[in-house]
Amino acid sequence: MTANERIRLLIVGCGDVFTRHYLPALEALADRVEIRALVDPRLGAAAAAAKTIVAWSAGVAAESDLRVALTRQDLDAAVNLTPAPLHGAINRAILGAGLHLYSEKPLAGSVPEADTLIELATARRVHFLSAPGSAATKRFRWLVDTIASGRYGSPMLAVAHHADPGPAAWREYTGDPTPFYRDGVGPVFDHGVYRLHEMTTLLGPVGRVQAMGTISSPTRVVRGGPLTGQTIQVTTPDHVLVNLEFTGGALGQLLASFGTPATKAPWLELHFPMATFSFAGQSWEPDAPASLYLDDDGPDAREGWTDGIEVPMDDVGVVETGVTHFVACLRGEATPILTAEHARHVLDITLKAYASIADGRSHDTETTF
């Protein structure tokens, strides 16, 4: 793209994540992007979204059928924000049409399906990136550089969590939370995936996975959105514990839960031989506080915690960072970090975790990045 050209986008899915995260992020990039078409099977949702963006995307059209939208000749790229179980088929249609693509996680429903999508993107010579945007944040680029410096030695252990009641309890959530508690989504696919992307960004590929999971609360009462007050069934584990063996020798542990009221546990701790980084607060907060523990036997020995260490801060949240990075890649201003190959590996880890829950055994991964 030239500096004066705006990227012409297709948005597929006009639900809560589009309204609360992607729309503000894209509007902030209005000098570089415009939305040409919005697709949602609920035509009213697409039409309502179109009305909110006409000031900076005057020619936007609302459609209920993706096949119709993909016949347009005025599109450069697409963003897939549909429910997780639909991602594989929709991504295949978008890539088949020759559009650059940014997909919400997961990028597919299986490793073979992800393989097919990656091959298709290569054949069409288009960018194929996938959420979450963690690896593109300033915070994680800084951690990657810190590890590469060798200052604290090689990291040997990562412990991470994302634990809350899930979207049924979010009073601000405007969509239907039911799919989040069913097979194909659950806390690992929805939230734990952030921690898995972050740990693999820092420690590299995972070779072996063990996991346990249970349904702690079989029903939930919805607190916000169109189903407020209704009771929904939980049919996939809402507590999942995952142990990870990285190919480089480090270990990792993840708690992903939709069954906890709240937690103050660090959302990530990264352990080196004589240092520990600990991240508190909420992981989606751009300025989440960080602490460093040093246990140094050198001539300038230091021992103990330093809270509030200076870490590069992001201007926007992790979701917004992902799509901003995608736009920068399309404009040739950045090299892709949120690759489909990395997303495929995290999908592989997640699927192996659920296989381990089912049979009680550890499972080797079959991918890398």
Q: In what order do the strands lie in the sheet containing 33-39?
A: 61-63, 33-39, 7-12, 77-80, 100-103, 128-130
Question: Are the beta carbons of 41 and 67 closer than 8 angstroms?
Answer: no
Q: What angle do CA 43, 322, 9 make, to 5 degrees?
A: 40
Instruction: Say how far apart CA 104 and CA 319 lie, in whole Å.
Output: 9
Question: Are the beta carbons of 66 and 88 closer than 8 angstroms?
Answer: no
What sign does the CA torsion over 354, 355, 361, 367 have?
A: negative
Question: Are the beta carbons of 189 and 283 closer than 8 angstroms?
Answer: no
SS3 state at 172: coil
Helix (H) or strand (E) segment spanning residue 246: strand 239-246
Q: Indicate the pTM of the whole model.
A: 0.95
Predicted pLDDT of residue 301: 66
Instruction: Say how far apart CA 280 and CA 265 lie, in whole Å.
Output: 7
Question: Tokens 């103050």 — which residue?
Answer: 264
Instruction: Say how far apart CA 367 and CA 176 lie, in whole Å.
Output: 33
Could you give phi then psi for residue 325, rounded to 5 degrees?
A: -65, -40
State the Rg of the chain over Cα. Answer: 21
Instruction: Say how far apart CA 151 and CA 104 lie, in whole Å.
Output: 35
Instruction: Say how far apart CA 338 and CA 344 lie, in whole Å.
Output: 11
> Phi-psi category of 229—alpha, beta or left, where left has phi over 0 and alpha has psi -120 to 50?
left
DSSP 268-313: EEEE-SSEEEEE-S-TTSTT--EEEEEE--STT--EEEEES---PP
Q: Can you read off the two tokens belonging to residue 186? A: 């659950």
> Phi-psi category of 189—alpha, beta or left, where left has phi over 0 and alpha has psi -120 to 50?
alpha
Instruction: Say how far apart CA 19 and CA 191 lie, in whole Å.
Output: 19
Q: Of 315, 354, 330, which is closest to residue 6 (Cα–Cα)?
A: 330
Q: Can you read off the two tokens belonging to residue 23? A: 């729309």
Q: Helices 193-203 & 340-359, crossing angle to 10 degrees?
A: 120
Ordered per-residue pLDDT tens for the chain, 369 residues = 556 799 999 999 999 999 999 999 999 999 999 999 999 999 999 999 999 999 999 999 999 999 999 999 999 999 999 999 999 999 999 999 999 999 999 999 999 999 999 999 999 999 999 999 999 999 999 999 999 999 999 999 999 999 999 999 999 998 899 999 999 899 999 999 999 999 999 999 999 999 999 999 999 999 999 999 999 999 999 999 999 999 999 999 999 999 999 999 999 999 999 999 999 998 988 788 999 999 877 666 678 999 999 999 998 999 999 999 999 999 999 999 999 999 999 999 999 999 999 999 999 999 999
